[in-house]
Structures are given as C-alpha cells and as structure tokens.
A and B are shown apart, each in its own frame.
Chain A
C-alpha cells in the first residue's frame, strides 16, 4: 500500500465512479454535468487518500529529525553526567591514592620501628647472655670468651679438687702428727711406769742400805764388845755404816730427781696429749667445714651453670621469636605491593574514564566516537593485562618456598 499509493488511489476512485455509474444505470438518466460531479465524487477519495499518504510521508520525513534532537539532548546529558562522574571519580581516586600512600607511610614507619625494637631486643638478649658468660667465666677463672660448659667448668672443678687435695694432705699430716703425739704420750706413760719401777728399786736400795746400816751398827757393837781386838773391825763397821748412809742419801737424791723427771714427763705427756687431741679435732673440724664449703660452692657452681644454660636457652628462644617476628613483619612488603597494585588498578580505571571523556562528541560522528572508545580501550589493554598479574600470591605470612636451581 505504501509502495504504490497513486495506483491504489486511482483504482479506488475508478471503483467509486463505476459504482455510481451502476447506480445511474439502474436509476433515471444523468446529464454531463451530473456525470462530471460523479467523476468528481469518484476522484475525491483518491485525492483524500493521496493527501493522507503525503501527510504520512511528510511525518516520516520529520520524525528522524525529532529523534536526532532527542538523541542529541540525551548525548549532551550523558556527556554532562560523564564529566561529573569523571570529576567525582578523579576526586575519589585521588583521595584513595592519597590515603593508600598515607597507609604505606604509616606501615613503613611502624615496621621500621618494630624491626628496630625486635632486633634491639635480640641484641640485648645476646649482650645479656654474653655478660652472664663473662661473669661466670671470671668467677670460674676462665677466659671471658670461653664456654662456661667446658673450659670454665674444668678450671673451677680443678680449683675445687686442688683445694680438697691440699686440705686432705694437711688434715692427714695433722692427724698423723696427732697420732705421733699420742704414741709419744704412750711412750711417756711407759717412761712413767719404768720410773715407778726405778722408784721401787730405789726402795729396795734404801732397804738394803738400812739393813747394811743396821748390820754395821751391830758390827760396831760387836767390835766394841771384842775390845782392843775388835777396834779395827769397829772402824770397818763404821765405814760400812757411813757407806750405807751415803747410799741412802744417794737414793733419796735419785728419788728426788726421779720425782722431778716424773713430774716433767707427766707435764710433757699432758701437753703432748692436749696438742695432739686439739690438732686432730681442729683438723677434722676444718676438713668437715671446708668439705661443706666445697660442696656448697659446687652447688652454687652447678646452679650458676644451670642458670647460664637456661639463659642461653632463653636467648635462643628470644632469637627464634625475633626470627618469627621478622618473618611475620614481611607482611608489610606484601601489603605495600598489594596496595600499589590496587592503586594501579584504580589508575587504570581513571585512565579509561579519561579516555572516554576525552572523546568530544561535537567533533566526532557517532561511529567515530565508538571507534575512539575502542581505541582508548585498546590503549589500556597493556595496562589492563599487567594489572591482571598480581605480584603477591601469598594468603598468609608463613615462610615461602626455597628452591635452589
């Protein structure tokens, strides 16, 4: 109908005219004027149809222009919105990147301080351990760099052994001397006993002298009774009596000396006994005391060694913990890379938006604008591809793998 409107209009008009002629045939006859009117009536639908079709055509010709205006308005609005969006997005991206940079700075600062703290802590633990070793080494007489578990300990043990040996020798000698003293006391007692026997013998001697004196006296009496004949015998008897008296005096003198000697021996015996018993008691007591001291020093030594061992273990633990902290603190490196990567992604998005917004509508046909957009996206492809590579795959801070080629 739209393809052949004139033919259809003519056909319709002829059909109306023919119908009217048929009506005229069946009714009264018509004149030429009436015929013209009838033809005119037949042509009217054609004219009406033609006018309608022209209006439709005109409407169709005017419609694209209205759409264009509408599209143009929409495009202007879209461009306006895009500009607003880009400005807003620029602001957001700028602020986000600024905040990410602030985060990196904060992380850097915190991590450096934490590392300083942890490494300082380990340094202090090591110095503490070194000082303890130095202290124990000096106490034990070993070199400061020596290990308390070997050279220092041997030196100190040797010192204790030497002390113990020296003391034992001293005590043994003292005990031996005391034994000699006691033997001397025994010998003194033997001397006393022998002197007692001498005294007994002296008693015998004094008894003999007394009997001799008595005999001499009897002999003198007998000599006197014999008169002149016994005069010589009286002299002999008198001399014998004098000898017995002198013998008695000697005996007394010997007894006196013997008593002095006995007294001296008793005194010496007491002194020797006293010295011997005192030396032995003192030596035994000293030995006991020193042995107690050595035992105590050995206990202190063992306690010190145990403390050094514990301190050493504690230092190792501190070191291990610091190592664990160092491993964990490396999250900052990963976090920084991820933050930078995220920042890069935002930068790409902004670049794409900038590219889109930079395509000026008024200078480009619609098809050109699309081409420009595609071109802008292609230009971003490299950046987009790179952004797909995340440099950090780790999802925890466990130590990573090690591979030697």
Chain B
C-alpha cells in the first residue's frame, strides 16, 4: 500500500510540482492550499508525511506544525518544512515547533525523493 503524503503550500505551482514528483515515485499525495486547510485535512485522515510551506494566508507553517504536534496521531509523524525562508532564526522556531527537517526552495526532485525515502522509506 502506497505511503500517504500531505503537501501544504499556497502556491499552486509548488503543489503541482511536489505532487508530480511524489506521485511519480509511487506515493499517494493530498494537497492543501494553506495551513488551516492542511490542518483540516490532517484531522480528517492520517498521513505518513507532511510537507508545509512557511508563509501562507490564514495559518503559517510553524503554526500548522504546532497544531499538528498537538494532535495525538501526529506526535511522531515526520513534518518537513519546504520554504523559501532560510534564516537560522526561522529554522530554530521551526525546530522548536516540532519540524523534522528544513528544505529550502527551490527543491530538486531527486533530492526531495531521497529525503522522503530516508524519512518514511
């Protein structure tokens, strides 16, 4: 059974590219348009991995991570930030919120898949 991944980003093109990359490798992908949408979808069903952007309307990525970590089913689920933000202060905030890793855009599909395989196999 294919592993399930939730990708949260307000950029439709980024969602499209992440989905294409992951689906090509056999993963099942669900898209969310912002942090709140991501949280709603994460509550509705569980995912093996979550990708999230930082700067989004309604709810940003770090807030989403905090919200997800507060849910029992997402205590240990890998959550990766995929963002243009690259400042150490922001990374520290993300790490404190419970992020598993930090990927700075633009992403290379092959390296993205390597990270996914490393994190969820």
Tell which of B54, B87, B108, B111 has the most Cβ of chain A within 10 Å.
B108
Closest to A398 in B: B106
Chain A, Cβ-Cβ closest to B113: A323
Contact of A405 among B13, B21, B102, B109 (CB under 8 A): B102
A290 within 8 A of B: no
User: Can you name the residue of chain B whose Cβ is closest to the Cβ of A399?
Assistant: B108
Hey, which chain B residues are within 8 Å of A400, CB to CB?
84, 86, 103-107
Instruction: Report the interface size for chain B: residues with CB under 8 A from the other chain.
Output: 33
Interface residue count on the A side (C-beta < 8 Å) = 32
Q: Are A327 and B108 in contact (CB under 8 A)?
A: yes
Residues of chain B within 8 A (CB-CB) of A402 are 101-104, 111, 115
Contacting residues, chain A, for B108 (C-beta < 8 A) = 323, 327, 399
Which residues of A lie under 8 Å from residue B12 when comparing CB positions?
A: 108, 112
CB within 8 A of A403: which of B21, B102, B107? B102
Q: Chain A: which residue is nearest B91 at the CB level?
A: A403
How would residues 315 to 350 of chain A score, 1 for a CB under 8 Å from any chain B CB and 0 otherwise? 000001001001111111110110000000000000
Contact with B along A378-405 (1 / 0, CB 8 A): 0000000000000111100111111111
Quick one: given A115-B17, A404-B115, are A330 and B100 in contact (CB under 8 Å)? Answer: no
Task: Given A337-B55, A400-B105, decide whether A405 and B99 contact each other with a Cβ distance below 8 A.
Answer: yes
Chain A residue nearest to B13 (CB atoms) is A111
Chain A residues lying within 8 Å of B20, measured Cβ to Cβ, are 115, 119, 326
B73 within 8 A of A: no
Determine how close the nearest CB of chain B comes to the CB of A329; give it in whole angstroms.
7
A341 — nearest CB in chain B belongs to which residue? B55
CA distance A115 to B18 in the complex (A): 11
Q: Are B11 and A336 in contact (CB under 8 A)?
A: yes
The distance in angstroms between the C-alpha atoms of A296 and B107, with both chains bound, is 48
With contacts A108-B12, A399-B107, A400-B105 taken as known, whether A393 is within 8 angstroms of B87 at the C-beta atoms is yes
Q: Give chain B residues whose Cβ lies under 8 Å from the Cβ of A333.
A: 11, 13-14, 84, 105-106
Q: Does any Cβ of A come within 8 Å of B120's Cβ?
A: no
CB of B69 closer than 8 Å to a CB of A: no
- With both chains docked as a complex, state the minimum distance between the C-beta of B72 and any C-beta of chain A, in angstroms: 21
> Is A393 a contact partner of B13 (Cβ separation < 8 A)?
no
- Hey, which chain A residues are within 8 Å of B109, CB to CB? 323, 326-327
Q: How far is the CA of A157 from the CA of B91 in the complex (A)?
A: 58
Number of contacts between A and B (CB, 8 Å)? Answer: 100
Q: What residues on B are CB-neighbors of A329 within 8 Å?
A: 13, 17
- With A400-B106, A405-B95 as known contacts, state yes or no: A391 contacts B17, CB within 8 Å: no
Q: A316 to B95: give the CA distance in the assembly, Å.
A: 36
What 1/0 mask marks residues of chain A from 227 to 251 whose CB sits below 8 Å from any chain B CB?
0000000000000000000000000
Task: Give the residues in chain A near B95, CB-CB below 8 Å.
Answer: 405
Complex alpha-carbon distance, A344 and B19, angstroms:
30
Contact with A along B54-80 (1 / 0, CB 8 A): 110000000000000000000000000
Residue of B nearest to A112 (CB): B13
Which residues on the B side are within 8 Å of A399 (C-beta)?
Answer: 106-108, 111
Cβ A330 vs Cβ B102 within 8 A: no
A214 CB to nearest B CB, Å: 115
Chain A residue with the shortest CB-CB distance to B16: A115
B85 within 8 A of A: yes
- What residues of chain A lie closer than 8 Å to B86, measured between beta carbons? 393-394, 400-401
B117 at the interface (CB under 8 A from A): no
The reply to whether A327 and B85 contact each other, CB–CB distance below 8 Å, is no
Which residues of A lie under 8 Å from residue B13 when comparing CB positions? 108, 111-112, 115, 329-330, 332-333
CA A165 – CA B105 in complex, angstroms?
A: 61
* B24: chain A residues within 8 A (beta carbon): 122
A397 to B16, CA, bound (A): 18
Chain B residues near A391 (CB, 8 Å)? 54-55, 84-85
Task: State whether A328 touches B99 (Cβ < 8 A).
Answer: no
A326 proximity list for chain B (CB < 8 A): 17, 20-21, 109
User: Is A112 touching B16 in the complex (CB atoms < 8 A)?
Assistant: yes
- From residue B58, how far is it (CB to closest CB) to chain A in Å? 15
- Smallest Cβ distance from B52 to chain A, in angstroms? 14
Mark B1-20 against chain A: 1 for CB-CB distance below 8 A, else 0. 00000000001111011001
Measured CB to CB, the closest approach of chain A to B13, in angstroms, equals 5
**Cβ distance B89 to chain A, nearest Cβ, rounded Å:** 10
A-B contact pairs, 5 of them (CB 8 A): A108-B13, A115-B17, A327-B108, A393-B87, A402-B102
Q: Chain B interface (Cβ within 8 Å of chain A)?
A: 11-14, 16-17, 20-21, 24, 54-55, 84-87, 91, 95, 99-111, 115, 118-119
Residues of A whose CB lies within 8 Å of any CB of B are 108, 111-112, 115, 119, 122, 320, 323, 326-334, 336-337, 391-394, 397-405
